[in-house]
Chains A and B, each alone.
Chain A
Amino acid sequence: MSYGFLATNNNDEVLVSSETRNLHFLQKKTSPTSVSYTTNFYGGMRHWNYDFTNVSVTPVPFFTTPTTDYYAITRVTNTSGNNWTVEIIRSGTSTTVPEVYLFADPRAGTATDAYGMVVYRDDGTAAFDSRKRPLAVTGGQAVSHPTNPKSSYSSSGLSAKYCETIQNYDTSVEYDISNFIPDQYTQYTITGQPSKPMFSYLSLAQAERELTLNASEEECDGVDDGYGGCIGFQRTYYWTSKYFAFYRGGIRWDAVNSTLRAGWIITEKGCNWTYYRDNDFLGIGTGSDSGTGGNWPYSNETINTANNTVIIGNGARYD
């Protein structure tokens, strides 16, 4: 650069530049604004919305991981004007919720101190403002998710009839199964992290897995011929149930062993069933308990597993 301001650290990495914008702390939420989905089935899953107001530029969210479950940011949405929603998902059944820190360039936010240093860009807007608590990172890791969320899938214990293993057809009472709980991850060792790390991980990886079960039964209205056949009118009943789970990529921090895992979080679950008698179509129904009422637009695939980077900071620095 021929003019302006540039500060670098001992590794010649840019700390402050009048040609870029540092990220600065804006707001923190200690609990979600709303819960969009929760269940303790399938190992447990939580979907939370954290709403933020007065954010005039696109924010960069970080979250804490108060439990050793998998966490991820799945969307950042500008709901209206300067209002934003950050959706966080988590595996597991704990009632403990993550804290969410919001960072943005210094055009957003208000300085809380009269002392410090401000660096301006050539358009007169701030590139850096020490009064707005600039972001310092403590680590980073490029992560990739394993292709399969679970090492092997078994249909053991699942019924082919009316998805009855997870939902009572007559009463809609739901039941739990463990057939889809993920157990695969990629692990990374990251040392030297603070006691309250915060992570920016924007989930892209997705996977869908399904287990299809078929069954049939014959009913004879005539006379049994003594050899397993039927003399007279008979019917054959056919059932199919397709149990499915939809996964998103997540990360899990283990502070004791300083390890970061890239694994999977079940975010939707359900089942579709069909029922036929002979060749006559009698009924087709959806026994889904996922709230979506249908299949996913792809089957038994894993997508968006290109490398993704986790940025780590010290949450306590912004408390």
Chain B
Amino acid sequence: MSFGLEIFASNGVTTYDSTDVTWNQVDFFSVSGGGSASNSYSVLSGRDVLVQQVQINSPPLTRKATAHTISVSGTTVSVSGGSEDAYILVLMK
């Protein structure tokens, strides 16, 4: 590459450079079943945002395992409405 960032390992192999693409972790938090969260991250301004949700436990047999509803408004990520404990991963690039 003729310009940009290129990082090498000790064996001369490129480990990362500016032709790569990635999603950067902004936050990773848990929301309990029936709970909610609303967090603001200034670093999200003007960036592509991806919010992932993974359930912590297997679906129960006694109730619907409803996923949380996630919304992104500006730099604020809101999570609510789910019946199950879940991890929320906020990514940006």
Contact = CB atoms under 8 A, between A and B. Distances in A.
Interface string B49-93: 010111111111111111101000000000000000001010011
Interface string A59-73: 010000000000001
A87 to B, nearest CB: 7
B64 A303 contact: yes
A125 interface: no
A294 B61 contact: yes
A32 to B, nearest CB: 16
Nearest to B59: A206
Consensus secondary structure, chain B interface = loop
Contacts of A209: none
Interface in B35-55: 43, 47-48, 50, 52-55
Contacts of B62: 297
Given A14-B93, A15-B22, A113-B10, A76 B56 contact: yes
Interface residues of B, number: 43
Contacts of A303: 64-67
B76 to A, nearest CB: 16
A165 interface: no
Contacts of A76: 54, 56, 87
B61 A292 contact: yes
A138 interface: yes
B37 to A, nearest CB: 15
Contacts of B10: 113-116
A296 B92 CA distance: 37
Interface in B1-41: 4-5, 7-10, 15-16, 18-26, 28
B72 to A, nearest CB: 12
Interface residues of A, number: 55
B55 A204 contact: yes
A264 to B, nearest CB: 15
A116 B55 CA distance: 36
A230 interface: no
Contacts of B55: 74-75, 202, 204
Contacts of A11: 21
Contacts of B64: 297-298, 303
B32 to A, nearest CB: 14
Contact of A15 (B5, B15, B59): B5
Nearest to B47: A14
Contact of B21 (A57, A60, A74, A136): A136
Contacts of B54: 73, 75-76, 202
Given A7-B5, A74-B58, A204 B53 contact: yes
Contacts of B4: 9-10
A131 interface: yes
Contacts of B69: 306
Interface of A: 1, 7-11, 13-17, 19-23, 57-58, 60, 73-78, 87, 105, 113-117, 130-131, 133-138, 140, 200, 202, 204, 206, 292, 294, 296-298, 303-304, 306, 309, 311
Given A22-B25, A137-B21, 4 more contacts: A10-B18, A115-B8, A297-B64, A304-B67
Which 10 pairs from chain A and chain B are nearest by CB? Answer: A20-B24, A115-B10, A202-B54, A136-B20, A304-B67, A13-B93, A130-B7, A204-B67, A19-B43, A21-B25
Interface of B: 4-5, 7-10, 15-16, 18-26, 28, 43, 47-48, 50, 52-67, 69, 87, 89, 92-93
8 contacts: A14-B47, A21-B25, A58-B87, A113-B9, A114-B10, A204-B53, A206-B65, A297-B60
